[in-house]
Amino acid sequence: MEKVVNAIQDSYPEDFSWCYGCGQLNNSGHHFRTGWQGEQTITIYEPLPEHTAIPGFVYGGLIASLIDCHGTGSSSLALHQKNGHEVGTGTPPRFVTASLHVDFLKPTPQGVPLKAIGTVEEIHPKKWKVHTEVYAQDVLCAKGEVVAVVMPSTFASQQL
């Protein structure tokens, strides 16, 4: 399977590497990895057999998760680059998702890698929008849009 070589998640600080979607320290999670592909971003993931909607097809929650973490990862890639850093140098900014939208266009087959391809748009220095297309074997199965914001320093203190 094609693999992302320089993934932004590999450089997230340890405290921010526990996400079930994309945290490299979360042993149970998906380990989504997001890197540049030209001027776009890419995340590649093959869903597991249990990630079923009806047998043979991927359930929507997995696709939403992929688009979500691809969105925060792509935003981090873009701002890190804007700040003058290559992937693998420096500490990238960590984003959180403000909103997520997914249009499910076709049933998404299991047993093949999915590719999320993102186009990143800056809408504010701390707020980015990522337009994503999810392909299975070059067939467009879903489109998504994530608005991601730089994680506020108060994020974890917003206790109930």
Judged by the rule CB under 8 A, the positions of this chain that interact with a copy of itself are 15-16, 18-21, 23, 26-29, 50-57, 59-62, 64-65, 68-69, 96-104, 106-107, 109, 136-137, 139, 155-156, 158-160
**Within 13 Å and on the Cβ side, how many CA atoms surround 83?**
15
In this structure, are residues 16 and 72 in contact, taking their beta carbons and an 8 Å threshold? Answer: no
In the bound complex, what is the minimum distance in angstroms from residue 13's beta carbon to a copy of itself?
Answer: 10
Question: At closest approach, how far in Å is the CB of 43 from a copy of itself?
Answer: 13
Nearer to a copy of itself (CB atom), residue 6 or residue 64 = 64
Q: Which residues are registered as beta bridge partners of 96? A: 149
Q: How far is the CB of 21 from a copy of itself (least distance, A)?
A: 5
Smaller CB separation from a copy of itself, 23 or 118: 23
Residue 39's φ and ψ, nearest 5 degrees, are: -95, 0
Of 39 and 158, CB closest to a copy of itself: 158
Report the nearest approach of a copy of itself to the CB of residue 7 (Å): 18
Residues 6+ apart with CB under 8 A from 58: 47, 51, 52, 108, 109, 110, 114
H helices then E strands: how many in the chain?
1, 6
For residues 38 and 154, which CB has a smaller minimum distance to a copy of itself in the complex?
Answer: 154
- Least distance CB 59 / a copy of itself (angstroms): 5
Helix ranges restricted to H, the chain: 60-82
Beta-carbon contacts of 23 under 8 Å, excluding residues fewer than 6 positions away, are 9, 12, 16, 17, 29, 31
Name which of 40 and 52 has its Cβ closer to a copy of itself.
Answer: 52
